[in-house]
Amino acid sequence: MRGRANTELTPELVLALGRAFARVTHSKRCLVGRDTRLSGPMLQSALQAGLCSEGVDVVDLGVLPTPGIAWLSGDLDCPAAVISASHNPFFDNGIKLFMAGGAKLADEQENTIEAELASLLGTSGQPPDIALAGPASTTTDSPPPDLVAGSECVTQPGMEPRTHADRIGNLTLDEAGSTRYVDHLTGALAGQTLDGIKVVLDTANGATAALAPVVFRRLGADVIHLAGDPDGTNINERCGSTHPEAMTREVLAHGADAGLAFDGDGDRLIAADGNGKLVDGDETMAILAADLAARGLLARSCVVVTVMTNLGFHRAMDSLGIRVLQTDVGDRYVLEALEKEGLVLGGEQSGHVILRHLASTGDGMLTGISLLGVVARTGRSLADLAAGSMKRFPQELVSIAVPDPSALHGAHRVWAEVDQVHAELDGEGRVLVRASGTEKVVRVMAEASSAALAGEMANRLAKVVAEELGIRPDGESVEEASESSPATGGAFQAAGL
């Protein structure tokens, strides 16, 4: 659940979510942590209140990366919740829920929680008002009929009564959780160190700010720390994995061996080599897959990626005899495939990399440790490892605003054009057209032997998508444009991944 804090994602809504989560999990205990956003303490308090009101004991972990909270959920075998909007700006916030064991919710579990939440919210979209019994009205000898005598809480239709006062959950602070998580991270290299490696850490003024320097210094690295002074509003602001420019500049300025940029909640990583060249999730997975395979640790000689993973990655894995499984976009689908197939490595181009033998979700610090571990173990620079890991195909992404993304499924002309483009590329590229699951846009991705060809194919398909799904190149719907003068500007926004 994600939205603008205090307007879309309100304390009342989050309190009801806490109640719904408690009712579905039936757990006696739940862990709760957050990132560094200004709205974090407010929303964490609301979620904890909802949980406690249903009789759940809550362990407040304070500020801790999402993967740290997920790991503790697995270690303690109890559900967990994270107050974070990941890489979004500070004014957004969100709730991430984990079942006992640190696993993300399955679809049926999400549906059950949503149904319970809808029941609690009634028809208003917010929890109904709660009337507290008090003195009799000054104008009548009897209390209003919807109040119960005494001090019990009475709810309006749509909200069931809470637990009795003697069964309210207890709230405790856990200051040892971060220490245990740090110990877990520093033990990931099984005694190996990062001695002699100079690294720039960009912690995005987020949840990794206090821990990342401790972790990497304990492993022996020489650390230069950026964006490590969160003030509640500067999380992800021109820093972190979505804005790695400052990190690359500092890598060059300090002659560092590598740079590691995390996002606000610490579950993704974008790296840079000693030349300041970015190393994304595809290249990171290629390096890790080759290393694990060489050491006989890549289970079933297979990795899991999403449909957005670069064609060059597939070619590189094929040359090493490593099988690639492909899922829809989303780290939850990657994790599901890893668990179903008993595999250990998967991830996304965006920097979500899951090392399933060490974590139940993407962990930026763990990924960075593992990546630098390959550097230390092989004696090769990250630049050398990245250059040899895969040959990237130029990739172009175009997003087209549409009224109804689901209409893409029946857009036969679009799919006919996709088939034609694939035939023209003849194995030396590919295209992908998909409806966004979170926005009213259709995304067109094209890969080809040259950036010019990738851009040509992407925009060619985007034009067909716009024509078929009711959007003109000026961004107006066909119906609206027929009654208005032509506008300047374009609806197609292209960005290389």
How far are the Cα atoms of 47, 82, 188, 374 from residue 66, in angstroms, in the given order? 16, 6, 18, 25
Strand, helix or coil at 242?
coil
Any residues with CB less than 8 A from the CB of 316 and at least 6 apart, and which? 286, 389, 390, 391
Give the type of residue at 239.
C
Residues β-bridged to residue 201: 225, 260
Reading the block at residue 455, the tokens are 């851009």
Reading the block at residue 32, the tokens are 């709760």
d(CA 82, CA 211): 17
Residues β-bridged to residue 432: 445
Sheet with 323-327: list strands edge to edge.
323-327, 302-306, 345-347, 353-355
The DSSP code sequence of 467-491 is HHTTB-TTS-BHHHHTTS----S-S
d(CA 174, CA 64): 11
Is the CB of residue 129 less than 8 Å from the CB of residue 12?
A: no
Q: Of 86, 241, 350, 399, which residue is the catalytic one?
A: 86
Cα first-last separation, the chain: 25
Catalytic residue check, 86: yes
Reading the block at residue 157, the tokens are 């239709």
The catalytic residues are: 86
